[in-house]
Amino acid sequence: MNYEKKCVWSILFRLCHWGFALSIVFLVVTGFYIHDPWTNTWIEGGSTFPMANLRYFHFLAGFVFTASVLARIYLYLFGNKQERVLDAAPVTTGNVKNLFSTMTYYVYATDCYEKRLGHNVLAGLTYLLTYVVAAAQLVSGFFMLYPESTAWQSWGYPLFGSQQQARFVHHLIMWYFLLFVVIHIYLVVWNDVRSPQGLISSIFNGYKFKPKNDSSAKA
Ligand code: HEM
Ligand code: HEM
């Protein structure tokens, strides 16, 4: 079968993905340390400062995470066709149909599957939810990071109640990301194996493949 090569993800989109993904790996590891330091803490204040250093790396990764989320919001509004919010949100009849057909395909109830260049709608909706959760994570993070800032504190207190409650919300949200990563990696590999579109390589090089003259492969 002949395939056409189509550029689907811009360089900014791919940078966002890897900025987001790698910063989360750092944030989870350093976050676990902040929660429950596993080094012998009496070395703190000697010649090494593991907690201070890991907190510093947590905040650095936090800024990469924030930049990736902001850039992705920009792409939701001004990115290419596949990157815009309406492409994967269930707001058109075609997208609602795709949402249900993807679910039936995922539970092996059918082999028919509408191939799309962008995300399928189930994935797109999950990613949208993930960015909403990411916004809550960074807001609770900045609220804890700048206790002296009236801008962050004036609405942070009504929202979270106290610093400790924000910390609890922040901790719970970490588990959302851990769950997301496991399911996400399983599903991208599963999709890549079942449908030869070049899904995984597309998040590195930006290209996907669509069968020539295949009317079911929607642009
Ligand atoms: C081995 C590691 C990973 C691979 C191979 C990978 C691959 C991919 C691929 C192929 C897509 C596009 C899927 C589609 O069209 O539906 C995607 C999207 C996405 N991935 Fe990953 N991913 C990885 C790790 C991660 C991690 C660790 C995270 C963060 C927790 C993450 C978060 C996302 C998000 C949020 C999207 C949606 C992109 C958007 O629309 O903004 N990924 N990933
Ligand atoms: C997916 C993203 C993130 C994850 C998984 C994460 C994870 C964590 C975890 C597990 C903790 C320890 C909380 C506890 O005691 O249980 C923590 C603390 C903290 N995080 Fe994050 N975090 C993320 C993003 C951010 C961002 C964007 C910022 C803002 C720069 C931030 C700032 C902080 C602060 C200020 C603390 C408290 C440090 C302390 O109490 O000494 N985090 N984070």
Task: Report if residue 42 sits inside a domain.
Answer: no
Q: Could you tell me if the CB of 135 is within 6 A of ligand 2? A: no
pLDDT at 45: 63
Task: Report if residue 43 sits inside a domain.
Answer: no
CA 97 centroid distance within chain: 24
Assign residue 79 the CATH number of its domain: 1.20.950.20
What are the C-alpha distances in Å from 185 to residues 46, 162, 164, 182?
A: 41, 35, 32, 6
CA of 184 to the centre of ligand 1 (A): 7
Task: Report if residue 71 sits inside a domain.
Answer: yes
Domain count, the chain: 1
Tokens 């069968």 correspond to 211
Alpha-carbon span 175 to 166, nearest angstrom: 15
Predicted TM-score of the model (pTM): 0.92
Query: Using an 8 Å Cβ cutoff, are 117 and 217 in contact?
Result: yes
Task: Report if residue 167 sits inside a domain.
Answer: yes
pLDDT at 43: 65
CA of 16 to the centre of ligand 1 (A): 10
Task: Report if residue 41 sits inside a domain.
Answer: no
Domain carrying residue 65: 3-36+48-211
Task: Report if residue 58 sits inside a domain.
Answer: yes
Task: Report if residue 103 sits inside a domain.
Answer: yes
Full pLDDT tens readout for the chain, 219 residues: 788 899 999 999 999 999 999 999 999 999 999 999 887 666 666 677 888 999 999 999 999 999 999 999 999 999 999 999 999 899 999 999 999 999 999 999 988 878 789 999 999 999 999 999 999 999 999 999 999 999 999 989 999 999 999 999 999 999 999 999 999 999 999 999 998 889 999 999 999 998 876 555 555
Q: What angle do CA 22, 26, 23 make, to 5 degrees?
A: 35
Q: Could you tell me if the CB of 145 is within 6 A of ligand 2? A: yes
Task: Report if residue 219 sits inside a domain.
Answer: no
